Structure 1
Amino acid sequence: MFHKKTYNAMELKTRHGHLIIEGPISVENITSYEFHPDLTSFRLPEQQHKALIGIAGLPEGRIIVARDRHTIVGYVTYVYPDPLERWSEGNMKDLIELGAIEVIPKYRGMAVGKNLLKVSMMDDAMNDYLVITTEYYWHWDLKGTGLNVWEYRKVMEKMMNAGGLIWFATDDPEISSHPANCLMVRIGDRVSSDSIQQFDRLRFRHRFMY
């Protein structure tokens, strides 16, 4: 099922200088890079660096990074859904989740996130996958950005659109618990109709219950 991960890269000009956006990167490369101390959204930077190294070593794991010379300043990860989430229940080998995306404050608002997603989708193998992301407002950096929930949702949705992910409806209780939460999905060109139907059953578990 796992097609060869084809490395892609681009240079992004920002007002703070040029960044290299590249991936999927190898365990060796991500181990050799420095990890910026402001990458603190999910856990301590040293711990998150170790977590990314682990993801890079997984058969389905993909990590795209933005780096300033030798220092990672942003990244996006793709892995199988958490076993505790409904999205893993179909045991679908062609469904992966955009698990985390993070950019240090210095480079926010400079299209780094959008371009992380664009480089992700340059790999033809992504057309074999159904890519999802679950967005919850309580994970968003409202304080750091100064945006309200709906402003942040708009920015986030626009960023995901750059990678081809669009809004999909679902009856998942966590997502449905707040109107700003959402499920976003990209269906690769080569995903089978059987897989799409299986995914629809995961999206609407209670569709036929009255």
Structure 2
Amino acid sequence: MIHTKTYYQIEVDTGNDRLLLEGPVTSEDLASLDFHEDLTAFRPASQQHKALIEIADLPEGRVLIARLEQMVIGYVTFLHPDPLERWSEIKMDELIELGAIEVIPAYRGASVGKNLLRLSMMDDAMEDYIIITTEYYWHWDLKGTGLNVWEYRKIMEKMMSAGGLQYYATDDPEISSHPANCLMARIGKRVKPESIQKFDQLRFMNRFMY
């Protein structure tokens, strides 16, 4: 199931600047832009820039960005789950993962992440997908924000809810390893009941192991 990726853009006034939020962007567009050196939550900025270019080239891959002129200061990605993760154990073309969302520290608190998620869901094609995100506390910038895990999780839940994602229970061992970790998902309006059933099987695989 490969859908046309409909491009959207919005402007966000942060009080100091006007940011352009746009996407899904092409790999060529991404390659032509500068990538802020503070986008290091997952890997060094230059490597993350390269990774986003590769994601944008995937048939299902979507990268939406926030930029100040030619400088990318935030992004969100969507792609099929990693083949090594539980979420790929049942082959589902209609299951995509919100793989990463990041905004540089200077623009946190300006609703950039929320607006990137809202922009992502403007595309009607998203109604054909189950979108998941796995939130692990060890990915969170607790040191930089000074928040504890519960305060940070509350912020993450609020941001994800802007994109229509909500909490779903699971027995996934990695998520279950800490009570602050969680699975969130958005089930599109046109997702078939049998696909929802497969998703439920993925969420609770351990019950079938006995």
TM-score band by shorter chain is over 0.9
Count of residue correspondences: 210
Unaligned runs of at least 5 residues, structure 1: none
Query: Paired residue for 1:169?
Result: 169
| C-alpha RMSD of the superposition | 0.8
Query: Paired residue for 1:53?
Result: 53
Q: For 1:86-129, what per-residue CA distance to the aligned partner results, in whole angstroms no more than 9, with x for missing partners?
A: 00011100000000000000000110000010000000001110
Query: Paired residue for 1:44?
Result: 44
- Following superposition, the deviation at residue 8 of structure 1 comes to 0.6
- Following superposition, the deviation at residue 183 of structure 1 comes to 0.1
Counterpart-to-counterpart distance in 2, 1:96 and 1:111? 23
Query: Paired residue for 1:145?
Result: 145
Equivalent residue letter for 1:37: E
Counterpart-to-counterpart distance in 2, 1:203 and 1:42? 25
Counterpart-to-counterpart distance in 1, 2:10 and 2:47? 27
1:110 aligns with 2:123: no
- Following superposition, the deviation at residue 206 of structure 1 comes to 2.2
Structure 1 vs Structure 2: percent identity of aligned residues?
Answer: 69
Q: In the TM superposition, what are the counterparts of 1:49-198 in structure 2 within 5 Å?
A: 49-198=49-198
- Following superposition, the deviation at residue 28 of structure 1 comes to 1.3
Counterpart-to-counterpart distance in 2, 1:41 and 1:168? 25
* 2:206 match: secondary structure: coil
Counterpart-to-counterpart distance in 1, 2:85 and 2:47? 23
* 1:207 match: secondary structure: helix
Q: For 1:112-154, what per-residue CA distance to the aligned partner results, in whole angstroms no more than 9, with x for missing partners?
A: 0000100000000011100000000011000001111000000
Counterpart-to-counterpart distance in 1, 2:156 and 2:47? 25
Query: Paired residue for 1:9?
Result: 9
- Structure 1 stretches of at least 4 aligned residues deviating more than 6 Å after TM superposition: none
Counterpart-to-counterpart distance in 1, 2:25 and 2:59? 13
Counterpart-to-counterpart distance in 1, 2:188 and 2:2? 14
Unaligned runs of at least 5 residues, structure 2: none
Equivalent residue letter for 1:203: R
Counterpart-to-counterpart distance in 2, 1:50 and 1:200? 34
- Following superposition, the deviation at residue 167 of structure 1 comes to 0.1
Counterpart-to-counterpart distance in 2, 1:50 and 1:16? 29
Counterpart-to-counterpart distance in 2, 1:92 and 1:101? 23
